[in-house]
């Protein structure tokens, strides 16, 4: 039996998570994190209707806050990111099989006032997980782009 279609709506915001298979670590070194971000950036160019507002790459999972003018592109966007990273990971570490546990999980942000809360939740994830003490010390989240004027060219403005 195939995967059931997801009910996604145009212009709706989604907190998307995707986790390493069996909760295993999927980012073993800085090159892994950088490769995922490069894949994310390239995939955003292909799916230009996708908007990215926050992200955090944790050792065994990923958080994204996205929306799309065309919601039907979200599954394609996520499939491409996860597939490309799986190919990279399996080749680099001479592995076979699944890198990701199940499909990505899109949770709709139903009230506009929760958007900033979601951004804060995503970017504070490393502090809650005790990976770092200060949010600004974590290299693999959108926090520096939002608050420290570092520009990686990944984020979109909420105004767009």
List per-residue pLDDT tens for the chain, 160 residues long: 446 556 787 889 999 999 999 989 999 999 999 999 999 999 999 999 999 999 999 999 999 999 998 999 999 999 999 999 999 999 999 999 899 998 899 999 988 778 989 999 999 999 999 999 999 999 999 999 888 877 788 999 886 5
Instruction: Please tell me the total count of domains within the chain.
Output: 1
Among residues 32, 27, 14, which one has the least CA distance to residue 106?
14
Q: What is the domain-level CATH number for residue 97?
A: 3.30.70.1290
Angle ∠(123,126,131) on CA atoms, nearest 5: 160
Kindly state whether residue 160 falls inside one of the protein's structural domains: no
Per-residue pLDDT tens for 98-144? Answer: 999 988 999 999 887 789 899 999 999 999 999 999 999 999 999 99
Taken in order 136, 141, 143, 149, the sign of the CA dihedral is positive
Kindly state whether residue 80 falls inside one of the protein's structural domains: yes
pTM for the structure as a whole: 0.92
Kindly state whether residue 155 falls inside one of the protein's structural domains: no
| Model pLDDT, residue 117 | 93
Please classify residue 84 by burial: count the beta carbons closer than 10 Å to its beta carbon, then call 0-12 exposed, 13-18 middle and 19+ buried.
Answer: middle
Kindly state whether residue 30 falls inside one of the protein's structural domains: yes
Kindly state whether residue 44 falls inside one of the protein's structural domains: yes
Kindly state whether residue 110 falls inside one of the protein's structural domains: yes
Domain coverage including residue 52: 13-147
Kindly state whether residue 101 falls inside one of the protein's structural domains: yes
């Amino acid at each position: 039996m195939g995967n059931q279609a997801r009910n996604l709506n145009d212009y709706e915001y989604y907190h998307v998570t995707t986790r390493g298979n069996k909760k295993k670590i999927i980012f073993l070194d800085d090159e892994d994190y950088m490769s995922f971000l490069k894949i994310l950036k390239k995939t955003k160019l292909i799916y230009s209707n996708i908007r990215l507002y926050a992200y955090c790459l944790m050792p065994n999972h990923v958080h994204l806050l996205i929306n799309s003018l065309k919601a039907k592109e979200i599954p394609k966007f996520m499939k491409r990111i996860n597939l490309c990273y799986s190919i990279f990971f399996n080749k680099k570490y001479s592995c076979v099989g699944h890198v990701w546990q199940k499909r990505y999980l899109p949770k709709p942000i139903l009230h506009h006032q929760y958007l900033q809360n979601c951004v804060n939740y995503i970017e504070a994830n490393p502090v809650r997980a005790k990976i770092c003490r200060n949010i600004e010390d974590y290299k693999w989240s959108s926090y520096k782009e939002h608050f420290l004027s570092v520009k990686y060219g990944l984020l979109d403005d909420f105004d767009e």
